[in-house]
Amino acid sequence: MQQVFKRPISLKDVQTHFCPGCHHGTIHRLVAEALDEFGVQGRTIGVASVGCSVFLYGYFDIDVVEAPHGRASAVATGVKRARPDNFVFTYQGDGDLAAIGTAEIIHAANRGEDITVIFVNNTTYGMTGGQMAPTTLVGQKTSTSPYGRNQHKDGAPIRMAELLAQLEGVAFSARVAVNNPKNIIDAKRQFKKAFRYQVEGKGFSFIEALSACPTNWGMNAIAANERVGSEMADYFKLGVFKNTDNM
């Protein structure tokens, strides 16, 4: 018998702090598999953000810089410019990238920095206790929108993948989900495409991954997983929004 599924080499064999059913673990694995695929583990510098993704350095067997809240793409810009031969990616949540770090991500994307940004969208601030994020769906109850998000007062959720795809500097922008095996296999393909852009020096690549947050949504893992495929994927359409190379 041969082993047909094993842990990627770039992913440390440790227990994660993620809640049961949290999709961060799956997204971590897909990133690690893509790193293995391109054989860049030894020259990769990850940039971690603030949020549940903060322990990136504990889970990936690569070098990691911890950025201040929202500033991961600005930090990654500096890292990549100082060390252009290294593979540089950021891993940020929606509270980090789409709220506190909006200026940083838009300008890094617009400059067309040769980095890869992985954006995990779970429609809430996970680590700090489930507050409303710019990506929170209309009507969604969070600890700071107890009656549900009100579009007139709070605006509609931001679609980052589409927004960034409009910028000249962006080479690749896609949205994926990891709520069922089909989507996971598709996500795997998109992660590899995004990484290839940087490996070949073709510019800024962006991947938004829809993720469940069972704890802050007040659901069990199965129901939260179901919500990703229904309510979330309804508003945040999956797909590739920009692919300059048509790979």
Partner 1 sequence: MAKIVIDEIRCKGCGLCTLACHGKLLSLSEKINIQGYTPAAITFPEKCTGCALCAEMCPDVAITVFK
Interface residues with partner 1 (CB under 8 A) are: 1-7, 11, 15-16, 18-26, 29, 180-181, 184-185, 214, 220-222, 225
Q: Which is nearer to partner 1, 65 or 221 (CB)?
A: 221
Q: Which is nearer to partner 1, 6 or 152 (CB)?
A: 6
Alpha-carbon dihedral sign for residues 68, 70, 73, 78: negative
Cβ atoms < 10 Å from Cβ of 234:
9
Report the nearest approach of partner 1 to the CB of residue 14 (Å).
9
Q: Which is nearer to partner 1, 103 or 222 (CB)?
A: 222
Structure tokens at 119: 């954006």
Report the nearest approach of partner 1 to the CB of residue 98 (Å).
22
Report the nearest approach of partner 1 to the CB of residue 109 (Å).
28
Which residues are registered as beta bridge partners of 93? 120
Angstrom distance (rounded) from CA 173 to CA 165: 6
Report the nearest approach of partner 1 to the CB of residue 3 (Å).
6
CA dist 9 to 1, 15, 35, 39, 113, Å? 21, 15, 9, 10, 27
Q: Which is nearer to partner 1, 16 or 244 (CB)?
A: 16
Q: Which is nearer to partner 1, 141 or 188 (CB)?
A: 188
| 204 neighbors 108 (Cβ within 8 angstroms) | yes
Report the nearest approach of partner 1 to the CB of residue 219 (Å).
11
Report the nearest approach of partner 1 to the CB of residue 152 (Å).
36
Region at 174 (left for phi over 0; alpha for psi -120 to 50; beta for the rest): beta
Q: Which is nearer to partner 1, 25 or 148 (CB)?
A: 25
Structure tokens at 234: 């309804």
Structure tokens at 1: 């018998």
Burial status of residue 181 (CB atoms within 10 A of its CB: 0-12, 13-18, 19 or more) = exposed
